[in-house]
Amino acid sequence: MKFMHSLAAALASCLLVAPLVHAQAPAYPRQPVTLVVPFPAGGPTDAMARVLAQKLGDRLGQQVIIDNRGGAGGGIAAELVARAPADGHTLFFGTTGTVAINPSLYTKLRYDPVKDFAPVSLMATTMNVLVVSPQIPAKNLGDLVALAKAKPGELTYGSAGNGSSNHLSGELFRTSAAIQINHIPYKGSAPALVDLLGGRLSMMFDTIAQQTQNIAANKVQALAVTGPKRSPLLPNVPTAQEAGLKGFDVTIWYGVLAPRGTPAPVVERLQREMAAVMATDEMKKRMEADGAEARTTTPAEFAALIKSDTAKWAPVVKNSGASLD
């Protein structure tokens, strides 16, 4: 009888505790989620984020709202999220530049990409393509390297500005090929492309999606893509490694990060839903049409990539001499 009384008391205790435990673990998300994008609306980063936001919101059961916060190379957006409540309702749409390059580029960075964030997952990766003006007598990358060595300092390459991915692609090319070429920074890729098409620039590293029409129309010649494998949009264009630059790899990525301290179950839920979204045929085809590849990771894998890319780009930035306040 005493045993039965104790058992009944224990069961009653469990029934009382269960609601308390449940109350301490509220459902996520309990309100709309804000995805902070570090660049203005209308650009490639914004386009990527908006595609993800709609599908991710459907799976989370709450709207995912885009908040464009351009400025300081993405630093304004990053700092905003780093200081936000760590509850998973404010997220950062990070890029290679804002997370892995800015620590070496900016002398006064107001956020720490490693200490201030909890990586969730990659969304997609993309690459650049090296295109040359029709006036440059180079049919392949070997020809271009030989020409640069024959005319040191005479060839030029344009970029969207100091520290941009096409600038650092050019710097990595310069050091990898041991050549002397001059960097011409512009305020964005568009004016640089105008000068390339006009023959006032020798070459440029640019996004594949932006150059496919120019390549098809023979307005520029594509010599190599910067990633580890060929692009489905340019199957006949070799990678820089295939063309002779061993170890050359400029892979640009997009991914989601939460403020440091965000509960593990929230991070895991976000990662799981992102993986489901990006695994669909619809998203894979959408990414491919934009010259990108749908690719997700675990939080640990994303953290490892951030660490390795930060170490990779530090010497490239240093050698380029680029520095921003």
The more confident residue out of 192 and 3 is 192
Residues spanned by the domain of 274: 33-126+252-320
Is pLDDT of 145 > 50? yes
Tokens for 85? 């409540």
Q: What percent of the chain has pLDDT over 90?
A: 81
Long-range CB pairs of 41-47, under 8 A, 24+ apart, other chains included: 41/66, 41/68, 44/207, 44/209, 44/290, 45/93, 45/95, 45/254, 47/290
On whether residue 238 sits in a domain, the answer given is: no
C-alpha distance from residue 187 to each of 72, 100, 107, 145, 193 (Å):
14, 22, 21, 27, 11
Phi first, then psi, for residue 161 (nearest 5°) are 135, 165
CB 184 within 8 A of CB 159: yes
On whether residue 152 sits in a domain, the answer given is: yes
Is pLDDT of 9 > 60? no
Q: Which CATH number goes with the domain that contains 261?
A: 3.40.190.150
Q: Compute the distance between CA of residue 91 and CA of residue 117 in angstroms, rounded to an integer.
A: 10
Q: Which range among 101-105, 266-270, 296-300 shows the weakest confidence by mean pLDDT?
A: 101-105
The residues, ordered by sequence, that sit 6+ positions from 243 with a Cβ below 8 Å of its Cβ are: 140, 141, 142, 223, 224
- Claim to verify: residue 219 and residue 302 sit in the same structural domain: no
On whether residue 242 sits in a domain, the answer given is: no
- Claim to verify: residue 122 and residue 143 sit in the same structural domain: no
- Claim to verify: residue 118 and residue 158 sit in the same structural domain: no
- Claim to verify: residue 118 and residue 170 sit in the same structural domain: no
pLDDT in tens, 156-183: 999 988 888 899 999 999 999 999 999 9
Q: Which CATH number goes with the domain that contains 183?
A: 3.40.190.10
Q: Compute the distance between CA of residue 9 and CA of residue 218 in angstroms, rounded to an integer.
A: 83
- Looking at residue 184, its pLDDT comes to 96
- Claim to verify: residue 81 and residue 46 sit in the same structural domain: yes
In the chain, the amino acid numbered 98 is T
- Claim to verify: residue 201 and residue 284 sit in the same structural domain: no
- Looking at residue 26, its pLDDT comes to 65
**Other Cβ atoms closer than 10 A to 212:** 16
- Claim to verify: residue 213 and residue 137 sit in the same structural domain: yes
On whether residue 235 sits in a domain, the answer given is: no
Q: What's the mean pLDDT in 8-25? A: 46
Q: Compute the distance between CA of residue 272 and CA of residue 298 in angstroms, rounded to an integer.
A: 9
- Claim to verify: residue 67 and residue 156 sit in the same structural domain: no
- Looking at residue 322, its pLDDT comes to 87
Is pLDDT of 16 > 70? no
Q: Compute the distance between CA of residue 190 and CA of residue 196 in angstroms, rounded to an integer.
A: 10
Buried b (16+ CB within 10 A) or exposed e, 229-249: ebbebbeebbbbbebebeebe
- Looking at residue 7, its pLDDT comes to 43
pLDDT in tens, 20-67: 444 445 689 999 999 999 999 988 899 999 999 999 999 999 999 999
**Other Cβ atoms closer than 10 A to 86:** 16
3-state DSSP call for residue 65?
strand
- Looking at residue 273, its pLDDT comes to 98
- Looking at residue 14, its pLDDT comes to 47
The more confident residue out of 73 and 148 is 148
On whether residue 271 sits in a domain, the answer given is: yes
Q: Which range among 7-16, 97-106, 223-232, 255-264 shows the weakest confidence by mean pLDDT?
A: 7-16
CB 141 within 8 A of CB 130: yes
Tokens for 87? 């509850």
- Claim to verify: residue 72 and residue 140 sit in the same structural domain: no
- How far from the centroid of its chain's Cα atoms is residue 100's Cα? 9
Q: Report the number of distinct structural domains present in the chain.
A: 2
Dihedral angle, C-alpha 176, 182, 186, 189, nearest 10 °: -40
- Claim to verify: residue 215 and residue 135 sit in the same structural domain: yes
Is pLDDT of 279 > 60? yes
Question: Is there a cis peptide before residue 32, judged by omega within 30 degrees of 0?
Answer: no
- Looking at residue 1, its pLDDT comes to 45
3-state DSSP call for residue 306?
helix
- Looking at residue 325, its pLDDT comes to 77
CB 148 within 8 A of CB 177: yes
On whether residue 246 sits in a domain, the answer given is: no
- Looking at residue 15, its pLDDT comes to 47
Q: Which range among 119-133, 185-199, 265-279 shows the weakest confidence by mean pLDDT?
A: 185-199
On whether residue 163 sits in a domain, the answer given is: yes
- Claim to verify: residue 138 and residue 119 sit in the same structural domain: no
- Looking at residue 22, its pLDDT comes to 41
Report the Cα–Cα distance between both ends of the chain, in Å, rounded: 77
Q: Compute the distance between CA of residue 228 and CA of residue 240 in angstroms, rounded to an integer.
A: 8
On whether residue 20 sits in a domain, the answer given is: no
pLDDT in tens, 281-314: 999 999 999 899 999 999 999 999 999 999 999 9
Tokens for 51? 């595609």
Q: What's the mean pLDDT in 114-142? A: 96
Q: Is residue 128 very low, low, confident or very high in pLDDT (cuts 50, 70, 90)?
A: very high
- Looking at residue 323, its pLDDT comes to 87
- Claim to verify: residue 201 and residue 67 sit in the same structural domain: no
